Amino acid sequence: MEISFLIPAFLQGVGVVALVSISYDVLLHHRSAGWLRSVLVALIFTLAVLGTMANPVAFGDGVFFDLRHVLLVLAAPFGGLPAALVTGVAACVYRLWIGGAGAAAGVAGILISVSLGALTLTYLRLQRPSFKRSILVGLMPSVSLLSLGLLPFEMIGGVLKAVAAPMVIGNFIGAIVVLTLLERRKSQAERETELQVFAHSDKLTGLPNRLKFETAASLLIGNALAQERQVALLVMDIDHFKQVNDTFGHAAGDVILADVARVLKREMRDGDLVARYGGEEFVALIPVDSEAEAHVAAERICKSVSRSRHEVRGVKLTVTISIGVQLIDGTEFSLHELMEFADGALYSAKAHGRNRVELAVAA
């Protein structure tokens, strides 16, 4: 059979691949739960494989050519083992339903491709794009030709002569096209996610930054007030931080900031919010039921930081923080005004000896 007979199947496969690429891109940008994303990826690959199998090029009784093996090989690297398993099972069931003399060989070929994708899952995910990797992926779908050994003996020679070269070429080109499209979509989505993370988090400490804090504050406060609770606004500042920078250098100061951030994060409960507000200043929002609870929480954080030890250039250091607390029990003040009240309490804590908690005077 001339290779021109395979062109319609190949072009149809390219169309399916384009739809897979677009669907995969939409899915990557959708903020869905992990399990839901796995289900949707499995659905995308399953429908794509069945789509390519629906209109194949026939070589005889139950012997077909399509680009199913390209998608079967890549289902695991891009969708995970669950997606590969679901896609493989669906393809096997459909192939058995079609029937014909090549049914057993078809199922075997599907299992070979799915297994290859699963076995090379870690390699394909960890390896950076390269010529060697592309060649490997291009050749993998054609390993399914081994399944032709299950055809009736009188058919094997004719089928191999007709399909071997065109199938290897078609699968090779198809695999590289699919790999390139999916990786491009995935890389773009990862870059966009990374940019969003950087836009809302502090690179040094990993905590939310001022922008993220101010964006999330209104929702947290609103939810707490709706539940008839109060919110403790804590403004925290590392004591004598300038001396650390002047004595040990700014790199040492960065170590202290990162260490203190880890302590603060550890002290937060589910539903609390802590962020680096700027310089050596941190802020937190903690839903509470009383002023006493707010004071206890702030004292716990203050003591936890003072008990922590930090090593800078071989020297063990202890740092403390001062905390100003403003209790939020209504919506009459803006976040900016509330911050000013808490700042006033912070300055009072500094003036009264540092390493202490001060509650803001009722506004």
Torsion angle of C-alpha atoms 328, 332, 336, 340, degrees rounded to 10: -60
Residue in this structure with the two tokens 């941190």, named with its chain if needed: 282
Alpha helices in the chain (DSSP H): 7-29, 34-54, 68-98, 103-119, 121-126, 131-139, 153-200, 210-226, 241-248, 250-267, 291-307, 335-351
Stretch 326-353: mean pLDDT, rounded? 93
Q: H or E segment at 64?
A: strand 63-65
103-107, 146-150, 320-324, range with the lowest pLDDT: 146-150
**Highest mean pLDDT pick, 32-41, 159-168, 336-345:** 336-345
More confident of the two residues 119 and 360? 360
The amino acid occupying position 274 is V
Is residue 6 scored above 60 in pLDDT?
Answer: no
Determine what percent of the chain is predicted with pLDDT higher than 90.
Answer: 42
Is residue 71 scored above 90 in pLDDT?
Answer: no
Beta-strand relationship, 281-288 and 230-238: antiparallel
Round to whole Å and give the CA distance between 120 and 159.
28
What's the confidence (pLDDT) of residue 52?
A: 82
What's the confidence (pLDDT) of residue 209?
A: 92
Structure tokens at 257: 């900031």
Is residue 7 scored above 80 in pLDDT?
Answer: no
Stretch 215-227: mean pLDDT, rounded? 93
What's the confidence (pLDDT) of residue 42?
A: 82
DSSP conformation letters of 122-139: HHHHHSPP-HHHHHHHHH
**Highest mean pLDDT pick, 33-47, 161-175, 195-209, 315-329:** 315-329
Stretch 318-340: mean pLDDT, rounded? 93
- The β-bridge partners of 234 are 284, 325
Round to whole Å and give the CA distance between 236 and 233.
10
Is residue 12 scored above 50 in pLDDT?
Answer: yes
Give yes or no for a contact between 332 and 354, defined as CB atoms under 8 angstroms apart. Answer: no
Q: What is the mean pLDDT of the chain?
A: 84
Among candidates 135, 142, 122, which has minimal Cα distance to 176?
135
Query: Domain 210-359 class?
Result: alpha beta
Is residue 69 scored above 80 in pLDDT?
Answer: yes
Is residue 203 scored above 60 in pLDDT?
Answer: yes
Neighbours of 147 (CB within 10 A): 20
Q: Distances in Å between the alpha carbon of 49 and those of 90, 298, 304, 311, 356?
A: 9, 58, 56, 56, 65
Query: Which sequence positions are flagged as catalytic?
Result: 280
Give yes or no for a contact between 280 and 321, defined as CB atoms under 8 angstroms apart. Answer: no
Stretch 258-280: mean pLDDT, rounded? 94
What's the confidence (pLDDT) of residue 79?
A: 81
Give yes or no for a contact between 325 and 233, defined as CB atoms under 8 angstroms apart. Answer: yes
DSSP conformation letters of 92-112: HHHHHHH-STTHHHHHHHHHH
Stretch 324-347: mean pLDDT, rounded? 93
> Using 50, 70 and 90 to split pLDDT, how confident is the model at 83?
confident
Is residue 201 scored above 90 in pLDDT?
Answer: no
Is residue 1 scored above 50 in pLDDT?
Answer: no
Torsion angle of C-alpha atoms 257, 263, 264, 270, degrees rounded to 10: 140
Stretch 15-41: mean pLDDT, rounded? 67
Stretch 140-148: mean pLDDT, rounded? 86
The ranges assigned to domains in the chain are: 3-199, 210-359
> Using 50, 70 and 90 to split pLDDT, how confident is the model at 268?
very high
Is residue 293 scored above 90 in pLDDT?
Answer: yes
Round to whole Å and give the CA distance between 143 and 41.
24
Is residue 126 scored above 60 in pLDDT?
Answer: no
Give yes or no for a contact between 36 and 77, defined as CB atoms under 8 angstroms apart. Answer: no
Is residue 43 scored above 60 in pLDDT?
Answer: yes
Stretch 145-174: mean pLDDT, rounded? 76
What's the confidence (pLDDT) of residue 308?
A: 92
DSSP conformation letters of 230-296: EEEEEEEEETTHHHHHHHH-HHHHHHHHHHHHHHHHHHPPTT-EEEEEETTEEEEEEEESSHHHHHH
